[in-house]
Chains A and B, each alone.
Chain A
Amino acid sequence: MRALVRWLRDGAVPMLLARLVLAAVFIVLAIHKVEEPVPFLKALRDYDMFPLTPPHLMNLTVVALPWIEILAGALLVVGFWLRPVGLLLAALTVAFTAAIVLRGFGLAATEGKSLCDVAFDCGCGQGVVFFCSKFAENIGLIALALLIALSRSRFLALDGLLRRGART
């Protein structure tokens, strides 16, 4: 167990895989949200996360969040600011997962369905998704983001190059 934890913390392969997978997921989903902002706007309303009036915070989130995700994804690819980016993506995914849980429980109660039968437009660029699969996917994304934030590996990362450059 300890060896596994050490491998995850120090290994180059898990870190590189986590960076590429997370970057791909966030960039692809963010591009969907940039292309189609209205479904994202409607989903935010359905999540009841923001006040409807004044609308600035919700509208600004619709405009800015996908670009923040694209930027974070690009930073993961080049390996710059890995720890802050990992924490940022973990925090965003935790917040989004909490919203999904509240929405899933709410729909299960009103529709009289079991939680895993509940499906809704998540607003995440994937269209209609089932609650359980989306929840499991998000847990996986949070784990990858935390791995990036906690890993010591800087293999094929700008962070590592800069650190080495600063030392010499």
Chain B
Amino acid sequence: VRALLLPLLCILAAGTLLGLGYNAVRAKDRIEIGRAYFAALAGAPPTVPGAGAPQVTETWDRAAPPIIPDTGAYLRAVAAGFRMLTVHEAHDYFLAAREAPERIGFLDAREDSLYRAGHIANALQVYYYDTARSVEPILFLLEKVPFLVVYCESVSCDDAFLLCTLLTERYGIPKERLRLYYGGMVHWRAYALPILPGNWVL
């Protein structure tokens, strides 16, 4: 048994030390050991009356009643008190942001590759999992802009909700200033709304 246990312990210890060492010096996507990345997702999602299948309507029909998604991310965000935006409302904010970019900012909560492939025009990438690289350098901007529209890939992704929670809880941005556009890039693309590829450089 000792002949097996000693090598196993050595491998586990050496691997852990190597992992911690590399994690400490990596420039990007450093894992914060003590950070509860998914604390906001603990427990079963709450129920919201009238929740149904999250579908994109085939026509740009503003008169149609908004569909209430039944995904965990949506239900949790509603229960947490965030103001949710449909794709129509997000588009209104987008047009308003063109007129007054100092008043409305769009935040893309997705990872680098998805952001580079195409994001809502003029949206900044704010990656929830790498705050040191993506939140802290632009915090001065986030604190100034009165309204921030946050989105991720689709109605099923949690990252926009998690980012909203982080911005309120860690960085003290009031909930009232945040808008969570829940349809994400999937709805935005479905309506052929303006998309830009590449990085947005401050």
Contact = CB atoms under 8 A, between A and B. Distances in A.
B4 interface: yes
Nearest to A81: B7
B8 A55 contact: no
A106 interface: no
B144 to A, nearest CB: 28
Nearest to A34: B22
Nearest to B4: A84
B39 A53 contact: yes
A52 to B, nearest CB: 5
Interface in A43-87: 45, 52-56, 59-60, 62-72, 75, 81, 83-85, 87
A115 interface: no
Given A36-B29, A37-B31, A56-B33, A64 B20 contact: yes
A95 to B, nearest CB: 14
A41 interface: yes
A143 interface: no
Contact of A41 (B19, B34, B129): B129
Sorting the interface of chain A by its residue count into under 10, 10 to 19, 20 to 34 or 35 or more gives 20 to 34
B25 to A, nearest CB: 12
B16 A67 contact: yes
Per DSSP, chain A at the interface is helix
B199 interface: no
B192 interface: no
Contact of A71 (B3, B11, B42): B11
Interface in B118-146: 129-130
Interface string B50-67: 000000000000000000
Nearest to B15: A68
A59 B39 CA distance: 13
Contacts of B8: 84, 87-88
Contacts of B31: 37, 41, 59, 62-63
B4 A53 contact: no
B18 A67 contact: yes
Which of A38, A54, A56 has the most B CB atoms < 10 Å from its CB? A38
Interface of A: 34, 36-38, 41, 45, 52-56, 59-60, 62-72, 75, 81, 83-85, 87-88
